[in-house]
A and B are shown apart, each in its own frame.
Chain A
Amino acid sequence: MAFSLTPWRRGARDAELLPEGRLSGPMPWVIAIMVALTVIAAAAGLAFSNTARNASDDLAGGVTVQIVDANPAQRDAQAQAVVQALRATPGVIEATLVPQDQVDKLIEPWLGASAGGDTGIPVPALVDARLRDSVTGETLGGLRRALHGVAPAARVDAQSSWLGPVFGAIDTLRWLSLALVGLLGFALAAAVLLAVRNALGSNRDTIEIVHLLGGTDAQIARIFQRAIGYDAGVGGIVGLALGLVVVLLLGQQFAALGAGLVSSGALDWSDWLLLALIPVIGVVLAMFTARQTVVRALRKML
């Protein structure tokens, strides 16, 4: 006999009209797996959303100025001039020269520890500026023209444009997660529909008798609705627990990476609340599907 997730169902009088196990069977486990996958997909989608939003907020007003000059003295002079010019420019709220040791650290993974400094490969000086408003093509053009006079070797870029492809990928993943949540919801409804149809078929005699004794469609639908509600409730709780364990483990793994972009995708309390609502939505969806399936099938009977 298969292990049942719903051992206490015997107490329900209405549910007793359906033999134990006819509707239940593997259904709570199927629902648990669906809910677990939905929780993971939804958590991923929320994390991607948070990543995109936080990174976008951070980078919206960010501008990076590179001074690409092989001569270190000229490069430093132009960098200082750029900082001064930017600080004097209306709309710029902050402009700082990125220290050389930080630049060296940034390029170290690709060019090695000895790449930076005066004796290594010439690397651009970087100026990090923050504007009051989001960077547009117009403001970027204005800055380029303003800086051209003081630093001919300056290249001005919006920080958001650097990560444009990354944002595009994150957005795609976010939509993919949403699509997965939708597909899993559809699959849950389909699984419930098949289980209820199967139960309707195997309990046809009982249903006919209840009908002939004066049972209404609503009464019979309620029996199936409750049975599937129990299954979905139990499956939902187990699925939520499984899903949350996976999400927490994945969160720890990503947190260990320590990368700013990844850590910006951390879930906040409203996200956790939304994840906790998934089994509730699953129960409602399963019960609604069961009711519609039963009522439609019963309408074909006299």
Chain B
Amino acid sequence: MTSTATREIVQFDNVGLRYGTDREVLSDVSFTLFPGSFYFLTGASGAGKTSLLKLLYLAQRPSRGMIRMFGTDAITLPRERLPGFRRRFGVVFQDFRLVAHLSAFDNVALPLRVAGVAERDLAKPVADMLEWVGLTERMHAQPAQLSGGEQQRVAIARAVIHRPEMLIADEPTGNVDPDMAIKLLRLFEALNRLGTTVVVATHDVHLLKKVPESLIMRLDKGRLSDPTGALRYPPRLRPRASSAELED
């Protein structure tokens, strides 16, 4: 095994995905994600961004090809080991996927509860995270009582509350105003500086310019192009930030 292989956090090799007997929505997708990098996944609507993200957060198995995650073959990964892998991700779903009957606080606390964090230990981080996304006043509101932008912020808070090794976000700024979008991107960047690999799917080209050091993967009709060479060459690792910087 080469030294590069040991640094890879995710490796896709000729991955294809089809639903049922339909044509492939992803074809011959090959790329490597390195720890501490910031990736934008772009492409037109229907290009396969969400399908690719589903493969990344292990909600879907590919129809063909090879996927390695954290040095392990993710395709033959036994089902019992999936939860352990999934806890290393944070996912912001395009449709938020908040639990409808839980409050904003309980939705954000969910990954910590799933990981077995005691109630007394989760109150402060959850409250802090809600404060950061500007939802302290709304922490007891249920998703149906929140606006689209507020729901999105809850979804983002839930995705990052457990400081994941990889953050996967599907159109995370689609429903928030430009100021909040910038603020959320800064949060992603801060997490990235702490070592979290960030993958953000977006079709907002303006967003790409906000993170100059980001690497861009472009999907076109299920095939991946490599405009920045990120998929061919290991990226330059960014300097790590401190936890205090994130909290600031």
Closest Cβ of chain A to B152, distance in Å, is 15
Interface string of A13-25 (1 = CB under 8 A from B): 1001101100000
Within 8 Å of chain A (Cβ to Cβ): is B203?
Answer: no
A-B contact pairs, 20 of them (CB 8 A): A13-B113, A13-B119, A16-B106, A19-B101, A205-B100, A206-B100, A208-B97, A209-B97, A210-B114, A212-B59, A213-B87, A213-B110, A213-B114, A213-B158, A214-B86, A215-B83, A216-B83, A299-B79, A302-B58, A302-B59
**Residues of A with C-beta under 8 A to B99:** 17, 205-206, 209
Interface string of B69-90 (1 = CB under 8 A from A): 0000000000110111111000
Within 8 Å of chain A (Cβ to Cβ): is B160?
Answer: no
Within 8 Å of chain A (Cβ to Cβ): is B211?
Answer: no
Bound complex: CA A124 to CA B100 (Å): 85
Bound complex: CA A215 to CA B106 (Å): 15
- Counting contact residues on chain A (CB < 8 A from B), the size range is 10 to 19
Closest Cβ of chain A to B27, distance in Å, is 21
Bound complex: CA A299 to CA B78 (Å): 12
**Known contacts A17-B99, A212-B57, A214-B111; is-contact A302 B82 (Cβ 8 Å):** yes
Bound complex: CA A16 to CA B106 (Å): 9
- Complex contact A214–B119 (CB within 8 A): no
**Residues of A with C-beta under 8 A to B97:** 205, 208-209, 212
Q: Which 5 A-B pairs have the closest CB atoms?
A: A214-B87, A214-B86, A19-B101, A214-B83, A215-B114
Bound complex: CA A209 to CA B114 (Å): 11
**Residues of A with C-beta under 8 A to B119:** 13
Bound complex: CA A80 to CA B51 (Å): 103
**Known contacts A16-B106, A19-B101, A299-B79; is-contact A214 B114 (Cβ 8 Å):** yes
Within 8 Å of chain A (Cβ to Cβ): is B60?
Answer: yes
Within 8 A of B (CB), among A4-61: 13, 16-17, 19-20
Within 8 A of B (CB), among A245-302: 299, 302
Bound complex: CA A213 to CA B84 (Å): 10
**Residues of A with C-beta under 8 A to B59:** 212, 302
**Residues of A with C-beta under 8 A to B64:** none
Tell me which of B86, B99, B102 has the highest count of chain A C-beta atoms within 10 A of its own C-beta. B99
**Known contacts A214-B83, A214-B86; is-contact A219 B114 (Cβ 8 Å):** yes
Report which of B61, B87, B111, B113 forms a contact with A302, defined as CB distance below 8 A: B61
**Residues of B with C-beta under 8 A to A19:** 100-101
Closest Cβ of chain B to A235, distance in Å, is 23
**Residues of B with C-beta under 8 A to A215:** 83, 114
Tell me which of A20, A213, A214, A299 has the highest count of chain B C-beta atoms within 10 A of its own C-beta. A213
Bound complex: CA A20 to CA B91 (Å): 27
**Residues of A with C-beta under 8 A to B100:** 19, 205-206
Could you list which residues of chain B lie within 8 angstroms of chain A, going by C-beta atoms? 57-61, 79-80, 82-87, 91, 97, 99-102, 106, 110-111, 113-115, 119, 158
Bound complex: CA A20 to CA B142 (Å): 14
Closest Cβ of chain A to B62, distance in Å, is 12
- Complex contact B84–A214 (CB within 8 A): yes
Closest Cβ of chain A to B76, distance in Å, is 13
**Residues of B with C-beta under 8 A to A16:** 101-102, 106
Closest Cβ of chain B to A14, distance in Å, is 8
A22 to B, closest residue via Cβ: B101
- Complex contact B111–A213 (CB within 8 A): yes
**Residues of A with C-beta under 8 A to B114:** 210, 213-215, 219
Closest Cβ of chain B to A145, distance in Å, is 78
Q: A19-B100, A214-B114 are in contact. List 16 more A-B contacts (CB 8 A).
A: A13-B113, A16-B101, A19-B101, A206-B100, A209-B110, A211-B86, A212-B91, A213-B86, A213-B111, A214-B84, A214-B85, A214-B111, A302-B59, A302-B61, A302-B79, A302-B82
Report which of A13, A20, A302 forms a contact with B60, defined as CB distance below 8 A: A302
B87 to A, closest residue via Cβ: A214
Tell me which of B91, B113, B158 has the highest count of chain A C-beta atoms within 10 A of its own C-beta. B113
Tell me which of B60, B80, B102, B114 has the highest count of chain A C-beta atoms within 10 A of its own C-beta. B114
Closest Cβ of chain B to A198, distance in Å, is 16
Report which of B79, B86, B101, B102 forms a contact with A212, defined as CB distance below 8 A: B86
**Residues of B with C-beta under 8 A to A17:** 99, 102
**Residues of B with C-beta under 8 A to A219:** 114
Bound complex: CA A20 to CA B101 (Å): 9
B112 to A, closest residue via Cβ: A213
Interface string of A165-193 (1 = CB under 8 A from B): 00000000000000000000000000000
**Residues of B with C-beta under 8 A to A302:** 58-61, 79, 82
**Residues of A with C-beta under 8 A to B87:** 213-214
Closest Cβ of chain B to A9, distance in Å, is 13
**Residues of A with C-beta under 8 A to B61:** 302
**Known contacts A13-B119, A216-B83, A299-B79; is-contact A210 B102 (Cβ 8 Å):** no
